[in-house]
Amino acid sequence: MFDFDEIQEEFFRVFMDHNPFMKMMQKHFASSFKDHSYDIYAPIAGKCMDISCCKDIAFSQKSFGDGFMIEPIDNVIYAPCYGKITSIFPTKHAYGIEMINGKEIMLHIGLETVKMKKGFFRTDAKVGDYIKPGKRIADFDMNEAIDNGIDMSTIVVLIDSKDLSLKHLNKTVSKDDVITSVNSDENH
């Protein structure tokens, strides 16, 4: 029996590339996914809130685009979508992700966490890794965050987007909950 997840990961690994033909194939392949190809899931368990509630003005004023934030009750970060990791900040607190439809996501873990010492965030993820919802990306030291009063709100921004339709606002979510969905023509 074929394992769709293994076939999909192999496709990502072998064929998805940054040349024009592969971009065209990528969009075609993305359209062949069932209903979940453009879904953005909660990357961490916790209370889901509109990004306008974020204490960081750059996020709350949607300077990078629309999105959501989660006040975590756990310390494990999961992939929020099907796609590819395109960048990882050296401290491992922020990730750039290209969705399979070409949209870009910023996953930002915590506020002012750029100042945290090496080892606060742990990850096995690398730039170029292909991901799918629920794949573990990173974790952080929850005890140290609590002891130091660090706000670990985790923010997901769909770059340059406007007026996303968000689900589960003001509710507790897990990595299995879809928060919003986008396609290549929406929300721009």
DSSP helix/strand/coil, 90: coil
Q: Per-residue confidence of the chain (188 residues) as pLDDT tens digits?
A: 445 555 555 555 555 554 555 555 555 455 444 555 689 999 999 999 999 999 999 999 999 999 999 999 999 999 999 999 999 999 899 999 999 888 999 999 999 887 777 789 999 899 999 999 999 999 999 999 888 899 999 999 999 888 788 888 899 999 999 999 886 554 44
Tens of pLDDT, residues 114-165: 777 778 999 989 999 999 999 999 999 999 988 889 999 999 999 988 878 8
DSSP state of 100: T
Give me the DSSP letters along 101-143. Answer: TS-EEEEEESSSGGGSPTTSEEE---TT-EE-TT-EEEEE-HH
Residue 16 within any structural domain of the chain: yes
Alpha-carbon gap, residue 92 to 119, rounded angstroms: 9
Residue 188 lies in a domain: no
- Residue 187, in any domain of the structure: no
18 is catalytic: no
Rounded Cα distance, 132 and 83, in Å: 7
> pTM of this prediction?
0.79
Range of the domain at 173: 4-181
| Per-residue confidence (pLDDT) for residue 119, from 0 to 100 | 83
**Per-residue confidence (pLDDT) for residue 69, from 0 to 100:** 97
Give a yes or no: residue 160 inside a domain: yes
Q: Which CATH number do you get for residue 119?
A: 2.70.70.10
Instruction: Evaluate whether residue 72 is within a structural domain.
Output: yes
The number of folded domains in the chain is: 1
Helix, strand or coil, per DSSP, at residue 23: helix
Q: What is the largest CA-CA distance in the chain?
A: 50
**What token pair was written down for 56?**
């960081």
Given the residues 36, 108, 168, 188, the one annotated as active site: 108
